[in-house]
Amino acid sequence: MDQTADAWPCESLCVAQKTVVPININSLRTACSQCNLRELCLTYGLNEQDLEKLESLVGSRRRIRRGTHLYRAGENFEALYAIRSGFFKTDVLLEDGRDQVTGFQMAGEILGMDGISCESHTCNAIALEDSEVCVIPYSLLESLSREIETLQHNFHKVMSREIVRDHGIMMLLGSMRAEERLSAFLLNMSQRFQARGYSEAEFHLRMTREEIGSYLGLKLETVSRAFSRFQEEGLIAVQQKHIRILDIAGLKRILNHQAI
């Protein structure tokens, strides 16, 4: 099935990507072998035996209150973080004060890979709602992935996926107009919520218009106006942070540069 069709533009070129089975995120247990997010996380496809070895991988959990940092640019890099629950943004800052949101991350996704290259983080990770992460000490991940081939492979795929995702955003920022960008954003959110067992058509955005704008290379007013126009055209129903998508095909048409 083409669950990838509404991913970032260039991800749709990715034929072999696995179909993510919607999963249930209710009961929370302790280790990877019991984790409901397994299908989305680093441990995908590991056998029972290997999963046992992994019990040591997740050192601890950390709760991050809404609005606080998981890590900051410049801090020492020691661990990756797998999001158990919640919602994050990452952003980078320029000396002159300008900043840019580089991504929004949700349950099952991995944070912190920017830190590997120079052993210190290059961006900030901030919780947009009360969240919980699994702390994955990086040295442990490296040594375990020397033992467990599947883990190694998954880790590489996760990093590569991040690169592909970034290329999609570069495409978006470099060659799309405002409404195309917002359409891509909404479709991407929709698809990710769906992959986690939530509604693809109705969801709460955790970020402000300004954060969306920063991510999409637009001003908050432009984002707001685009939302309003989508609503006028019957593509979505929007009330503050609550979004209901009424016409997915219509949004896709906009993304594909076609007029309504």
Partner DNA sequence: CGCGCCTTTGAAGGAGCTCAATTTAGGTGG
Partner DNA sequence: CCACCTAAATTGAGCTCCTTCAAAGGCGCG
Q: Which residues bind DNA (CB under 7 A)?
A: 177-179, 208-210, 217-225, 227-228, 238-241
CA atoms 133, 134, 136, 141: torsion sign: negative
Cα end-to-end span (Å), the chain: 26
Site string for a copy of itself, 219-248 (x = CB under 8 A): ------------------------------
Nearest Cα neighbor of 177 from 246, 144, 225 is: 225
By a kind-dependent CB cut-off of 5 to 8 A, residue 246 interacts, out of a copy of itself, DNA, none, with: none
- Contact flag: residue 171 with a copy of itself (CB under 8 A): yes
Task: Say which entry of DNA, a copy of itself, none residue 197 contacts (CB below 5 to 8 A, set by partner kind).
Answer: none
Of 66, 163, 199, 204, the one binding a copy of itself by CB under 8 A: 163
**194, 3 in Cβ contact below 8 A?**
yes
Q: Which helix (H) or strand (E) holds 52?
A: helix 48-54
120 sits near a copy of itself (criterion: CB under 8 A): yes
- Let me know: does 42 contact 155? Beta carbons within 8 Å: yes
Min separation Cβ 187 and DNA, Å: 17
73 binds, among DNA, a copy of itself, none (CB under 5 to 8 A by kind): a copy of itself
Residue from 161, 178, 225, 237 that binds a copy of itself (CB under 8 A)?
161
Structure tokens that stand for 254 in this block: 């906009």
Spatial contact of 132 and 163, defined as CB atoms under 8 Å apart = no
Distance CA 88, CA 11 (A): 21
Q: How far is the CB of 179 from DNA (least distance, A)?
A: 6
In terms of CB distance, is 171 or 201 closer to a copy of itself? Answer: 171
Q: Which tokens is 136 given? A: 């994955």
Task: Select from DNA, a copy of itself, none the partner in contact with residue 120, using the beta carbon and a kind-dependent cut-off of 5 to 8 Å.
Answer: a copy of itself
CA distances from 219 to 168, 171, 212, 222, 236 (A): 20, 18, 9, 5, 20
* β-bridge partners, 83: 133
Q: Is 135 in the site for a copy of itself (CB under 8 A)?
A: no
Binding site for a copy of itself (CB under 8 A): 9-17, 73-74, 92-96, 98-100, 102, 113-120, 122-123, 142, 145-147, 149, 152-153, 156-164, 166-171, 173-175, 214-217, 256-258
